[in-house]
Structure 1
Amino acid sequence: MSQARTHARQAAVQALYQWQMSGHNLGEIERQFLEDGRLKDAQKSYFNELLFGVPKNLEAIDQLLAEFVDRPIDKIDPVERAILRIGVYELEYRLDMPYRVILNEGINLAKCFGADGSHKYVNGILDKVAQKKRAAEVKSKKSAGTKIQGPG
């Protein structure tokens, strides 16, 4: 996956965290990120898709997350919540992206921004979401990694 898209995800985690914590207008948050240079290396169109797409689909994203988390959504650490919401958005709405890329990016975001060990939590949740939303893709990848023994 391109570095520009990775930078877009990193900025989106920060922007969604800010939105979750402050409730500020998304357009205002976008303007701040554009003006202060945080999007210099980012794919701006993808940042915008995440910044506006996650809140637009928040009810569906949180409903799906609720099936797999061990506590109410609002009790999840806000950084982890932003990362999980981005991952669920991508698994649900960006079928052009392989699920393994989405999981790997989520893990890396958690390692970068989350508390110690949060990458394991993020990985576990996103893997369960992928198994539900991308069942055929997950199954084909897992079976492709399994070697079949012939007689002998």
Structure 2
Amino acid sequence: MSEQHASPADDAQPSSTKPAGRKPGKSASKSARSRAREFALQALYQVIVGKNEAADIDVFTRDLSGFHKADSAHYDALLYGCAEQSLELDKLILPLLDRSMAEISPIERAAMWIGVFEMKHCLDVPWRVSLNECIELAKEFGGTDGHKYVNAVLEGLAPQLRPHEVQADRQAGRARA
């Protein structure tokens, strides 16, 4: 699958409109990529819980309020890529778990799928951006401490999936210290 997306800077560009239904104090500025991840997370939840086909979920998801503000190409890559590669993604995640995959919340699992998929296939997205975005998804949609689990698993896989980028970040961190 070829991933041609907007630049990583798109992940940091604020919008000036406030999304409806957000908790007070939550950042109202979300990039089109962040919105794509949110919609993909919701769709992947249906893949995991409802055992629905990605194409059926896609039709429903595109009709949801606010979808027009999402990066639809990135959403497509995440939904279809994660659904098609779910077994491969689970094989990468499973060794880092301290429990069975069945005991993992569907939200946490979907967030981990998104992070692993982006680290493997969306090389224009820096690994730290993907990690942070998936942590935020788990905080917003998941259980109380689910984001800590997502963080641990994705940070554990990053050196395997993005070795050069992680190494460069570590060296830059040491240089600043």
Q: Same fold, TM exceeding 0.5?
A: yes
CA contact (8 A) 1:26 1:52 kept: yes
* Structure 1 residue runs without a partner (length 5+): none
Listed one character per residue, the Cα deviations across residues 30-57 of structure 1 (whole Å, up to 9, x for unaligned) are: 1111123341211111111111000111
1:61 corresponds to 2:89? yes
RMSD: 1.5
* Structure 2 residue runs without a partner (length 5+): 1-10, 14-30
Partners of 2:119 and 2:176 lie apart in 1 by 29
1:123 corresponds to 2:148? no
1:111 corresponds to 2:154? no
Letter in 2 for 1:106: C
Listed one character per residue, the Cα deviations across residues 13-42 of structure 1 (whole Å, up to 9, x for unaligned) are: 010001111112211111111123341211
Letter in 2 for 1:12: A
1:85 corresponds to 2:146? no
1:43 corresponds to 2:71? yes
CA contact (8 A) 1:11 1:38 kept: no
Partners of 2:127 and 2:133 lie apart in 1 by 10
Q: Which residue of 1 aligns with 2:101?
A: 73
**Given the superposition, is the C-alpha separation of residues 70 and 35 from structure 1 closer, same or farther in structure 2, using an over 3 Å criterion?**
same
Rg (Cα) greater in structure: 1
Partners of 2:72 and 2:164 lie apart in 1 by 31
Shift of 1:128: 0.4
**TM-score after normalising by structure 2:** 0.79
Given candidates 22, 29, 37, the residue that maps to 1:9 is 37
1:34 corresponds to 2:53? no
Partners of 2:74 and 2:176 lie apart in 1 by 40
Identity of aligned residues (%): 36
Letter in 2 for 1:134: R
Shift of 1:118: 1.4
**Given the superposition, is the C-alpha separation of residues 24 and 69 from structure 1 closer, same or farther in structure 2, using an over 3 Å criterion?**
same
Shift of 1:147: 3.0
**Given the superposition, is the C-alpha separation of residues 74 and 38 from structure 1 closer, same or farther in structure 2, using an over 3 Å criterion?**
farther
CA contact (8 A) 1:7 1:43 kept: yes
Partners of 1:106 and 1:148 lie apart in 2 by 26
